[in-house]
Each structure stands twice: as C-alpha cells, then as structure tokens.
C-alpha cells in the first residue's frame, strides 16, 4: 500500500471516530444525585436540564444559608417575640424565673433566674449600663451571638459591679470618664445575666440594682423596666420553613454585613434576599427556601445530636459530650467556625467567655447526653437513671436538666419539673452519691430525685457544673452514662 493510500485510510478512520464521538456526546447521560441528566457535547442538553441544575444550585445555597444564619435568626426571633409578646422596649429587661417563663428559651437552665434585653443601638444611641455587684454571670453579645464583653464574675468588674458605656457600629464614645467603653459590631445586642446567688433576697437585690438607659438621658435617667412573661406565650426558637428566611431577611436589613459573610450574601441574592431591597420571592424561590430550611434543619439536628468531632467526647469511657465546641469568637486559626456554630446554636443560645473558661472555680461547664448507652435516642416512655458520684467538681452547684429534642426547650411534662440540682433537697445514697431518675413515673421513695418525661417524645440532657473545678478540666472526674432501667 502506498503512503498516499495509508494517509487516506487514516483520514477515513479519523472521520469515523470523530462521528462516533459526536454521536456518543449527543446521546450521553450522566447519573447524579438529582437523577440522570442528559448532555449534548458534554453540556446540559436542554433548557429543562439547565433549570434543574439552577434549582439544585439554589436549593444547596438555601440549605447552607439556613445553617449559616442560625445564631442571628435565633436572637432576632427572641427580640421580636419579647417586643410583641411582652411589649419590651429597647431599654427594658425581662425576668425569666419559673419553668413556664423559660419554655421559650433554647436549653435554658431551670435553676437560676435569667434577666435579658435586646436594645437596638441604632435607635437608642450609646447606652449606659450600671451592673450590680454580687454573684452573677452575664454578658453582652452581638447579634451573631459573639461575646462583646462578659459581665459579673467573669467580666472586667469581677463581680464587684461597674459602669459600662455601650456603643454601636460607627458610633463614637462621648468624651466622658468613669465608664468601661464597649463597642458592638452590630446595632442590636443581647444584654443578659444569671443570678448565681442562692439567697432569694440577695438575688432580688442584684436584679433591682441593674440599670440600662441612653447616654442622652444621663442627666435624668429613667427607671429600667423589669418585665415578666406572666403566662404569655412566646418563643425564641428559630422558626421553621419559609418563616425562617423571613426572619433572616428582616434582621439582615437592619444590621451591617460582616466581611466574613459577603459570600453568603451573594448566595442569598438569587433567592430574593438582598441588602436594601424588598423581600418578594416568587413561587420558585419560596419553594426552594422552604425545602432548604427543612433540609438545613435536619442537618443541624444531626450536627448537634450526633457530633462527629473527635474532641467532642468528654471521656472515652462514657458517652457524655462537650456541648460547646466553638470558640466564642467563632473563629479558628484558618477558618470561621461554621459547623461548630451550627452545632451549638441549633440547640442552645448565647455564649460568653465564662462559659468556656479554663480557670477552676469560675464560670460554667456543660456536658450533653443525647442517646442512651446503646446508642438509641432517649425515649420519653422509658425509665432511666443517672448516678452522680459524691462531691462533683463544682464550687457552687451542679444540675441535670432535661430538654425536648424537637423544641430544644425545657421539657413540658405538665409537672413544671425539668431539672434536679445539688441546691435541691435530694435523697442521697450512703456514700454521698445521688441517683437522679428520668421517666414517665417516679420510682418509689425517690420522688424528689425524679424528672418526669413525656411518652412519645425524645429528650436530651445537660449536666452543668457551676464554678467547675480542676478534676473536671483534667477529666479525672467521671460522670457515668445515663442508663436504662426497668
């Protein structure tokens, strides 16, 4: 065969191969998580396929935006609920004392009173805070739930009381002396404290000593109003479904965009949420936001109740987990703590430095139990026992509190009992240890040690140490698992 013939045959083979490749490209289908997608020349084959990809893109963005927005939506919902349910203004404080008062708070303790308010510095201007002396733990947090400063025993006043001047973004501190000047990166803030004083009269004195008013009213300061829920229904729990994004949009419109969040703002734009523009999603956007909120919440549930970080385990010989895995700043060395933030703020609310302190004898410590020793969710229709060894490492007191797994609020069992603590009159064993019981019925003789559960509902538990001591920090102290009993 001549060289010319060989060239002709190679040319024919090349043309046949190219035709086969083109035919294959035209007929190709690729299997994906959203089903088979037809391609043409390796590209989405038709408008319907391209729209499916856009829908998936925006659904994934809505899902991640749900996870990202948890801390600010949580605070915004609390601010909205306090204003609409209680009539709380910018300088009012609400006292949450009883079990019923706290039913709206994510994983509140059931032992100490909470006092909190949600001023908007864009409306009030700089605020003066007179913080009282005494045994208390508190703080000021921005609306992404990052601590601006602690107050009380773990704050700069160290429990001796003090005067603070709080200013917002772009605001300038007045030329004045005698105040600790604190600047928040958000206009809306959370100011709150817990009274740790066991004496009721001393606790009332601490609460009455708190003052909050605008700097502009310093020459004739108004009295700080102290409100109570008084049986009114309210909730701080982030709303579900489309309502979640309504609340997210509302607060994003009022607050500055952080540099770290610009990429998420870009992800929200195709879904109808854009700074400075009305939120008017079309039917497609609304459906994607609803689906994204549903999926995002299930992911957050899994993240909170089945933590996958190795450092989450308190000790290898029990199933108790550290509740707080994030730094209060929400920043790590090379990334912002998105997953750690979702883990905590799905199930809980607010952080202070005192909640993660490593200094023995001050602050608080939190351990969580979400499943029994067999790995099953705690069942409100079954009975369980926690054996608390004698002398837990707590300078002040310890408590065990039970929460509804779906609402993440104190369990509503109709008994107004959600915790047991060392401050209560509990039945002790001969060696000083205490057995706490959880279940639908009280074990005979241990009614004082019983926390009622609700059949048909899952629950989880927090074990708190107030003023945790060194055996907790070095993990030489062991808290046994919550065990199923007959």
Please give the Cα distance from 67 to 49 (Å, whole number): 28
pLDDT of residue 12: 57
pLDDT of residue 21: 45
Ranges in the chain, pLDDT < 70: 1-27
**Could you give all domains of the chain from N- to C-terminal order, each with its CATH number?**
3-45 (no CATH), 90-224 (2.60.40.1610), 306-485 (2.60.120.600)
Q: Are 433 and 424 in contact (CB under 8 A)?
A: no
**Residue 293 has which token pair?**
């909120």
pLDDT of residue 389: 97
Please give the Cα distance from 387 to 371 (Å, whole number): 16
pLDDT of residue 24: 46
Instruction: Give the global pTM.
Output: 0.90
pLDDT of residue 197: 86
CA distances from 433 to 153, 262, 386 (A): 29, 52, 10
pLDDT of residue 374: 87
Q: Are 89 and 225 in contact (CB under 8 A)?
A: yes
């Amino acid at each position: 065969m001549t060289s010319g013939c060989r060239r002709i045959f190679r040319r024919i083979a090349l043309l046949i191969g190219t035709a086969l490749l083109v035919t294959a490209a035209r007929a190709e289908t690729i299997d994906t998580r959203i089903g088979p997608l037809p391609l043409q020349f390796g590209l989405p084959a038709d408008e319907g396929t391209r729209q499916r990809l856009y829908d998936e893109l925006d659904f994934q963005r809505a899902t991640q935006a749900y996870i990202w927005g948890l801390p600010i939506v949580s605070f915004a919902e609390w601010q909205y609920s306090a204003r609409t349910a209680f009539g709380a203004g910018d300088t009012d404080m609400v006292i949450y004392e009883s079990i019923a008062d706290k039913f709206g708070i994510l994983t509140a303790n059931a032992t100490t009173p909470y006092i909190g308010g949600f001023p908007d510095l864009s409306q009030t201007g700089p605020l003066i805070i007179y913080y009282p002396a005494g045994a208390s733990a508190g703080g000021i947090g921005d609306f992404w739930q990052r601590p601006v400063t602690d107050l009380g025993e773990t704050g700069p006043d160290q429990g001796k009381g003090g005067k603070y001047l709080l200013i917002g973004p772009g605001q300038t501190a007045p030329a004045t002396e005698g105040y600790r000047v604190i600047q928040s990166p958000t206009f809306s803030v959370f100011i709150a404290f817990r009274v740790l004083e066991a004496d009721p009269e001393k606790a009332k004195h601490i609460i009455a000593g708190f003052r909050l008013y605008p700097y502009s009213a310093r020459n004739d300061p108004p009295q700080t109003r102290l409100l109570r829920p008084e049986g009114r229904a309210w909730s701080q729990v982030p709303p579900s479904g489309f309502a979640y994004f309504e609340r997210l949009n509302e607060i994003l419109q009022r607050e500055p965009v952080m540099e770290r969040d610009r990429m998420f703002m870009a992800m929200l734009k195709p879904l109808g949420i854009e700074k400075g523009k009305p939120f008017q999603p079309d039917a497609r956007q609304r459906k994607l936001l609803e689906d994204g909120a549903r999926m995002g919440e299930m992911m957050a549930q899994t993240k909170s109740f089945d933590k996958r970080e190795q450092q989450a385990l308190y000790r290898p010989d029990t199933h108790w987990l550290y509740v707080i895995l994030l730094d209060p700043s929400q920043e790590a060395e090379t990334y912002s703590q998105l997953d750690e933030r979702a883990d905590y703020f799905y199930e809980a609310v607010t952080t202070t430095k005192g909640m993660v302190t490593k200094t023995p004898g001050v602050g608080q410590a939190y351990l969580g139990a979400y499943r029994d020793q067999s790995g099953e969710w705690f069942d409100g229709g079954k009975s369980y026992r926690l054996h608390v060894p004698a002398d837990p490492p707590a300078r002040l007191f310890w408590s065990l509190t039970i929460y509804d797994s779906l609402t993440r609020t104190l369990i509503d069992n109709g008994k107004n009992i959600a915790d047991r603590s060392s401050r209560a009159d509990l039945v002790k064993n001969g060696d000083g240890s205490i057995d706490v019981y959880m279940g639908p019925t009280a074990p005979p003789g241990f009614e004082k040690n019983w926390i009622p559960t609700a059949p048909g509902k899952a629950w989880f538990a927090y074990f708190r140490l107030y003023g945790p001591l060194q055996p907790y920090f070095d993990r030489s102290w062991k808290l046994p698992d919550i065990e199923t009993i007959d």
